[in-house]
A and B are shown apart, each in its own frame.
Chain A
Amino acid sequence: QVQLQESGPGLVKPSETLSLTCSVSGFSISSGYYWGWIRQPPGKGLEWIATIHRDGTPYYNPSLQSRVTISLDSSKNQFSLHVRSVTAADTAVYYCARRFPIEYGGRSHYHFDYWGQGSLVTVSS
């Protein structure tokens, strides 16, 4: 059974760096295609932050690209997210997820099929 678990500090001060790790069990990160981060501010909708391919190629949301880094650690079966210079607007539940292909209708569909339970990060002094 594939499981993802986010970990990191629940409170970050403004202007500092938010760092989160997603630990994956039941599946090798190096076998998966893409791994990603999505966030959800309290009471609001979902926002995709970044995705990383198993070969290390990152993809970022342009709205956050200047402040975000996603990375992979295959030896630990983990991937991480760093968001620099945070403000209150970065307060959200952060989810990690697997983006895996399924063949359907003659095409490969890379959809988010497994998610972590989410980690609330509050930005406050």
Chain B
Amino acid sequence: DIEMTQSPSSLSASVGDRVTITCRASQGVGTYLAWFQQKPGKAPKPLIYGASGLQSGVPSKFSGSGSGTDFTLTISSLQPEDFAIYYCQQYIDYPLTFGPGTKVDI
């Protein structure tokens, strides 16, 4: 199985901050990497596919980069609605695996 790790596990930030979350895969996944945002009581919302492709309807303040084993999700200017948990997920191979999540709060 491909193990996904994320850092940090949680972070505190302020409105307007630039935030970067890191995701690492235990083996290369090319660019078959997605990012999701999850708010309490809600389903995960897709943000990024292909490591850097922006899901339709997602604001451009979200951006992704990386390939192989190391990836980042950046939020350029944090807004109140961005406080959530963020997960990465590899989909190059079964079993599909998610990172443990990064909680972004105030």
Contacts and interface: CB of A to CB of B under 8 A. Distances in A.
Given A104-B53, A107-B31, A107-B50, A118 B95 contact: no
Interface string A88-105: 000000010001001011
Nearest to B99: A45
A47 interface: yes
A105 B44 contact: no
Interface stretch (A16-24, A75-83, A108-116): A108-116
A111 B91 contact: yes
B101 A112 contact: no
B64 to A, nearest CB: 11
B97 interface: yes
Interface of A: prevailing SS: strand
B43 A113 contact: no
Contacts of B98: 45-48
- Chain B contact residues (Cβ within 8 angstroms of A): what range? 20 to 34
Interface residues of A, number: 26
Contacts of A109: 31-32, 34, 49-50, 53, 91
A61 B95 contact: yes
Contact of B100 (A45, A62, A116): A45
Given A45-B101, A51-B96, A102-B53, A111 B46 contact: yes
A102 B95 contact: no
B50 A104 contact: yes
A105 B96 contact: no
B46 A48 contact: no
5 contacts: A46-B44, A48-B95, A60-B95, A107-B31, A115-B44
Listed from nearest, the 7 A-B pairs whose CB atoms lie closest are A104-B50, A48-B96, A111-B49, A115-B43, A46-B98, A104-B53, A61-B95
Given A45-B99, A46-B36, A99-B91, 11 more contacts: A36-B96, A45-B101, A95-B44, A105-B50, A107-B30, A107-B50, A111-B34, A111-B46, A113-B46, A113-B49, A115-B45
